Every structure is written in structure tokens, then in C-alpha cells.
């Protein structure tokens, strides 16, 4: 008889604790710990996004009193046996009282307590998507005056360490290239002016850096546009350059960029509410370029089947789903629909390596770890490296 995986077996919750910790934006956030009767424990907090989707459960970020939640959670959950699914089902009854952050933090802590050990339980290691330049209104690391929130590198090979070393070679060149450029204020951040057509100029800069360092064959280019924030009425208004497009104009703009810079992935190129635009762009884009759905799919299993024809892959952000069992259901459904998974950290995280564990266990093809100027990205990467060496 084949034993069930440990994460699927019922296990008594022996204790729950809560403390308050800092996230990467120096904001206070509650972090929960779940202790199981066999001695295992897990801890987790709820991350936060700068550009949340209108569809994600995590859009409700109201504050709760951690002490009040902790007392009720101990009374409701301790001393009872749960699997991940039954634990998350029990949390749903309290979501109106405790709020999204507390329920997600408890779900994630329970997942961390129950997950398989490092180096086991997953189909393989994801490839890292490397953040190089940042734009938009929330540019914190190597910032440029561009409309797109992230300019990323997609490794062409599957080996993690050579890809990290190649990225390490590229970072000093990028810092040097930006150092002498003029800066201006965008969204309260000092960002570098890269040219009169900033999105093209930023992509041209990345292309030039890859050629100068001899890494042009090592990486493809990816853009995360976060275009949900651009839609105003029936027009798209780009937040930094101020350019205005109707739907057809923006689709034409994307096709030009994909062709000129040989983009291999584009994330959220249109608003999550513009399903017709997504369908039209996917039908017109060259087959080598994947359109990745983030806000449009919002890690929501109920939304995914009707949107599968609009995307070539989907972002997996467990807090969007509200619980780890819902995130797993989304991942399994994406697999059945033939859609690759890209696990992703969010804008404001703690030092939790949760998303690295999720990426491995759920079989993500890629992981967006975030800019390495944020040390939490180093923590997530190190967790993968430890697993890969076992």
C-alpha cells in the first residue's frame, strides 16, 4: 500500500503563535507559526503587492488585531487533526472576522509545517527570472524612467548556478551604465533618464549590456508591464511617458517591441479587465513570445478555464488565491490546461522562503525572486540552492 504524502495526511495542530515582524518595505506585519503534534513547525506572513489585481482575494488588506486572531485561532484550530485542505476550509469560516492577511498567514504557516523536506517532494528546480531594471511608479532597484515595472532576463539554459553567475557579471555593467545618467523624480523615487522613448531605450540598454558582456546567447528578454494600472476609461495612459493608446494602438505597440527586441515573455501587457485585448494580442503575437497572465488570472481556479485561450503561461502567487490549497488547485488546473507556471514573490515580503518551496513542490517552470538588491531575494534563491545540492 502506497502511503499518502505527509502534506495530505491529517495531523493534529498542537499550537499556534503569532508575532509582528517587518516586511521589505519596513512595514509591520503579523507572522504566524503553526506547530504540529509530531514536532514540526512552520511560520509565514502575508506579503503585499504594489499593483494588486481587482480579482484577487488579497485585495482586502484591512488590519486585524493579531492578539484577537491568535486567541480565536487557538480555540478553533488547536487539538484538531487537519490536512492542508481541511485546515484551509476551517479558516474560510473565519475570513470575514480575521481578514485575508491572517487567514493566508495561517494557511501558509500550516503548509510550511507540513511540506516535504528540502530536496524532496517536487518535480524539479525552477529556472530563475532575473530582475535587472525597474520602472513604473514603484521602481526601487536600478530604476529607470520607463512605463514597464520590470525588465527581466530569461535564462536559456536550465542550470541554476551558471545563470546566477552570468547575472552577477551583468549587474556591475548595468550599475555603471546608469551611474552617469541624469535622474528625476517618479512616484517619489529618483529614477534614471534613459532616453526620449524610455521603454525602447531601456530595452535597447539591456540589449547593449548583454552584447558588451558577451551574454547575448545566455538570456532572453522579458517585460512585466503591470498594464492594469494604465487603463482609464477606454484609453491606455502610460504612467511615466504619458503616451496614450486605444486598444488596437497598444497591441500594435507591443508587436513592434516584441519584434524589435525579440522579447520571449511579456507579463500583463493589457489590463486584466480587457479580455478582448488579450485575445487579440495573443492571436497576433509571434509564437516565440509567451504572454503571461498575472492580474488577469489572479491565481484563481474559477477564472482560469475561460482565460486559457488568452495566455501562454500564468503567474502563481499563493496569497492571491487566499490559501495554499487553492493555490495548489490552480497549479494543477494550469497543468491540465497546458499552461506553464511562473511562481512569483510579491512587492513587499518578509524573510520567508515560502515561494521557493511552492515553486518546487507545485512544479513551476520559473520563479521570479525579485531584485537582488532586496536581500529577501537572496534568501529565496539560497533556499533553492540548498535543495538543489541535496
Instruction: Spell out the domain ranges in the chain.
Output: 10-114, 127-296+340-388
Dump pLDDT digits (tens) for 218-232: 999 999 999 999 999
Q: Which of 4-18, 71-85, 285-299 has the lowest mean pLDDT?
A: 4-18
Contacts of the segment 48-51: beta carbons below 8 A, 24+ positions apart: 48/23, 48/346, 48/347, 48/348, 49/317, 49/346, 49/347, 49/348, 50/138, 50/347, 50/348, 51/138, 51/149, 51/226, 51/228, 51/229, 51/295, 51/347
More confident residue, 58 or 280: 280
Dump pLDDT digits (tens) for 107-158: 999 999 998 765 444 567 999 999 999 998 888 889 999 999 999 999 999 9
Residue 7 has pLDDT above 80, yes or no: no
> Which DSSP letter does residue 230 get?
G
Q: Is 173 helix (H, G, I), strand (E, B) or coil?
A: helix
Res 122: pLDDT: 53
* Closest alpha carbon to 280 in 272, 289, 270, 288: 270
Res 162: pLDDT: 96
Res 121: pLDDT: 47
Average pLDDT over residues 344-371: 93
Res 373: pLDDT: 82
- Report how far residue 377's alpha carbon sits from residue 167's, in angstroms, rounded to the nearest whole number: 14
Res 49: pLDDT: 79
Res 3: pLDDT: 37
Topology annotation, domain 10-114: Enolase-like; domain 1 (3.30.390)
Res 187: pLDDT: 86
Average pLDDT over residues 238-251: 97
- Report how far residue 165's alpha carbon sits from residue 168's, in angstroms, rounded to the nearest whole number: 5
- Report how far residue 155's alpha carbon sits from residue 153's, in angstroms, rounded to the nearest whole number: 6
Dump pLDDT digits (tens) for 253-297: 999 999 999 999 999 999 999 999 999 999 999 999 999 999 999
Res 266: pLDDT: 98
CB-based contact 107:89 (threshold 8 Å): no
Q: Is 156 helix (H, G, I), strand (E, B) or coil?
A: coil
Average pLDDT over residues 233-258: 97
Res 98: pLDDT: 92
Res 117: pLDDT: 60
Residue 106: exposed, middle, or buried by beta-carbon count in 10 A (0-12, 13-18, 19+)? buried
- Report how far residue 121's alpha carbon sits from residue 237's, in angstroms, rounded to the nearest whole number: 45
Res 347: pLDDT: 83
- Report how far residue 92's alpha carbon sits from residue 52's, in angstroms, rounded to the nearest whole number: 21
Topology annotation, domain 127-296+340-388: TIM Barrel (3.20.20)
Res 390: pLDDT: 55
DSSP string of 10-50?
-EEEEEEEEEEEE-TTS-EEEEEEEEETTS-EEEEE--B-S
Model confidence, pTM:
0.92
Average pLDDT over residues 312-339: 97
Res 2: pLDDT: 31
Res 389: pLDDT: 58
Res 50: pLDDT: 77
Amino acid at each position: 500500500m502506497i502511503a499518502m504524502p505527509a502534506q495530505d495526511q491529517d495531523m493534529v495542530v498542537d499550537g499556534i503563535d503569532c508575532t509582528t515582524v517587518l516586511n521589505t518595505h519596513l512595514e509591520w506585519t503579523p507572522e504566524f507559526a503553526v506547530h504540529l503534534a509530531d514536532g514540526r513547525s512552520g511560520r509565514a506572513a502575508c506579503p503585499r503587492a504594489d499593483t494588486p489585481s481587482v480579482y484577487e482575494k488579497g485585495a482586502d488588506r484591512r488590519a486585524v488585531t493579531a492578539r484577537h486572531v491568535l486567541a480565536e485561532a487557538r480555540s478553533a484550530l488547536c487539538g484538531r487533526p487537519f490536512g492542508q485542505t481541511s485546515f484551509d476550509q476551517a479558516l474560510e469560516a473565519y475570513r470575514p472576522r480575521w481578514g485575508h492577511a491572517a487567514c493566508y498567514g495561517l494557511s501558509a504557516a500550516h503548509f510550511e509545517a507540513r511540506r516535504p523536506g528540502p530536496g524532496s517532494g517536487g518535480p524539479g528546480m525552477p529556472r530563475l527570472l532575473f530582475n535587472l531594471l525597474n520602472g513604473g511608479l514603484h521602481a526601487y532597484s536600478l530604476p529607470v524612467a520607463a512605463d514597464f515595472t520590470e525588465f527581466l532576463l530569461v535564462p536559456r539554459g536550465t542550470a541554476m548556478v551558471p545563470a546566477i553567475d552570468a547575472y552577477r557579471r551583468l549587474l556591475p555593467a548595468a550599475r555603471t551604465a546608469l551611474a552617469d545618467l541624469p535622474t528625476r523624480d517618479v512616484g517619489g523615487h529618483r529614477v534614471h533618464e534613459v532616453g526620449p522613448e524610455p521603454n525602447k531605450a531601456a530595452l535597447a540598454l539591456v540589449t547593449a549590456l548583454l552584447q558588451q558582456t558577451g551574454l547575448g546567447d545566455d538570456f532572453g528578454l522579458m517585460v512585466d508591464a503591470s498594464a492594469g494600472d494604465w487603463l482609464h476609461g477606454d484609453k491606455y495612459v502610460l504612467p511615466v511617458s504619458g503616451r496614450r493608446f486605444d486598444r488596437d494602438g497598444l497591441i500594435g505597440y507591443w508587436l513592434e517591441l516584441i519584434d524589435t527586441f525579440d522579447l520571449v515573455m511579456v507579463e500583463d501587457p493589457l489590463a486584466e479587465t480587457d479580455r478582448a485585448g488579450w485575445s487579440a494580442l495573443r492571436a497576433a503575437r509571434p509564437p516565440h513570445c509567451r504572454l503571461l497572465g498575472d492580474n488577469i488570472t489572479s491565481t484563481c481556479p474559477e477564472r482560469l478555464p475561460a482565460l486559457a485561450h488568452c495566455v501562454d503561461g500564468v503567474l502563481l502567487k499563493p496569497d492571491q488565491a487566499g490559501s495554499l490549497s487553492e493555490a495548489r488547485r490552480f497549479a494543477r488546473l494550469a497543468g491540465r490546461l497546458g499552461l506553464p507556471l511562473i511562481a512569483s514573490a510579491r512587492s513587499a515580503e518578509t524573510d520567508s522562503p515560502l515561494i521557493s518551496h511552492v515553486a518546487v513542490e507545485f512544479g513551476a517552470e520559473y520563479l521570479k525572486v525579485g531584485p537582488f538588491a532586496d536581500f529577501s531575494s537572496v534568501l529565496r534563491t539560497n533556499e533553492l540552492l540548498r535543495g538543489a545540492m541535496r
